[in-house]
Amino acid sequence: MLRAMNDRAALELLVAHGPLTRTRLGELTGLSKPTASQLLTRLEAAGLVRTTGNVTGRPGPNAQLYEINPAAAHVAALSVDQEGITAAVADITGRILGEHRVNADATAESVRNRTGELVAEAVDGALAAAGLGRGELRQTVIGTPGALDPRTGVLRYAPHLPGWQSRTMRDELAEVLGTPLVIENDVNLAAVAEQHHGTAQDFDDFALVWADEGVGAAIVLGGTLLRGATGGAGEIGYMPLPGAPLARGDDSAARPDAGGGFQKLVGSPAVVKLAREHGIEAPTAPEALATALRTPGAGDAVLTELARRLATGLASVVAVVDPELVVLSGQVAQAGGERLRELVEAEMTGLALPRPLLRISAIEGDPILIGALQTALADARHTVFDTA
């Protein structure tokens, strides 16, 4: 057991630091040189590490460098939205080897019964780009709107993804792909990405608020995601707020455009409508906000009203959770940028007693896909790095 613990510690250090010499690995683990040598020999024989050149430019013999063997395992990460599925395949170090996008309207009749086929197509496309086969995958994580109810296995809070509503969907997809499978809420995965690679790296208590086509939040307390009894923690798109229609009962679950108060105020369609009311015509929220940022008068009015709406919703979250940090993410927040953040921060004054730090997401690329990849890697390494 002690040997297995040392093996895992060494592997985690190689993941975190990159290539290390035997001496440096011994210093970081506290192991003697002979023990570190035995450990590396054992891990190399198991195919978990490999040599990757030497350290040069120093007195004495050149020290050999060791790194994680990228081929030790591979994982797949997927991001699902109403227009299609994006898949990425990475090696155990986290380097993305291939990506593929399958476009498919989730509400189309021809798509509803083809979920497994579409997921397989996306994964196979990414594997082909990476030059790999399904048998080389160790773990798959899929990010979707809504959340799986842990009691029933049903995907809740995602009426716009009718093909994902089967109680046995997770098992069906795991069988199709031939790997262990996790289906996770997309905003939760965005928070995972922020926690490991973005603004929230140094925070154990934070909330990520996602404003895009849909609106949601991820709550992290003590470094752990809060999911709730039915997986619905953070579904603030349904949160009733003054000035917005309410989504009630079965009707809210059946209508793809349902989202309750907050989503009706700050989701992408609401931003386009708000801009139009002030004479700014744009087909998408990012374009509307880009125009508002460079349009004195009308643009200022759009940004001020949007900031007021965001601050009203955020105040409810902050009053209940009291996070140290709130991260604004999604297309609406990204497009509004620092100007929108400043306005929201000003509007928050007096709305809630706690005053958390307010930041715009620092993630480059698709945070949902990045979070899914991080989760898949953590799960795969837990298994692969266990030499017991």
Domain ranges of the chain: 1-68, 74-188+367-386, 200-360
CATH 3.30.420.40 fits 74-188+367-386, yes or no: yes
The secondary element (H helix, E strand) that includes residue 226 is strand 224-226
Q: Beta-carbon neighbour count of residue 4 at 10 Å?
A: 12
**Do 1-68 and 200-360 have matching folds?**
no
Per-residue pLDDT 10s for the chain (388 aa) are 889 999 999 999 999 999 999 999 999 999 998 999 999 999 999 999 999 878 765 665 668 999 999 999 999 999 999 999 999 999 999 999 999 999 998 888 888 889 999 999 999 999 999 999 999 999 999 999 988 888 888 888 888 888 898 888 889 999 999 999 999 999 999 999 999 999 999 999 999 999 999 999 999 999 999 999 988 899 999 898 887 777 665 444 444 445 568 999 999 999 999 999 999 999 999 999 999 999 999 999 999 999 999 999 999 999 999 999 999 999 999 999 999 999 999 999 888 778 899 999 989 999 999 999 999 999 999 999 998 8
Q: Whole-angstrom Cα distance, residue 283 to residue 51? A: 53
Mention every residue, 6+ apart, whose C-beta is less than 8 A from residue 337: 293, 360
Name the residue among 272, 378, 285 with its Cα closest to residue 334: 285
Select the CATH number that applies to the domain covering 1-68 from these four: 3.40.50.300, 3.40.50.2000, 1.10.10.10, 3.10.20.600. Answer: 1.10.10.10
Q: Beta-carbon neighbour count of residue 345 at 10 Å?
A: 18
Geometric angle at alpha carbon 322, from 316 and 324, rounded to 5°: 125
383, HSE (Cβ side, Cα atoms, 13 Å): 15
Ramachandran region, residue 192 (left: φ > 0; alpha: ψ -120 to 50; beta: rest):
alpha
In CATH, the number for domain 200-360 is: 3.30.420.40
The secondary element (H helix, E strand) that includes residue 326 is strand 325-329
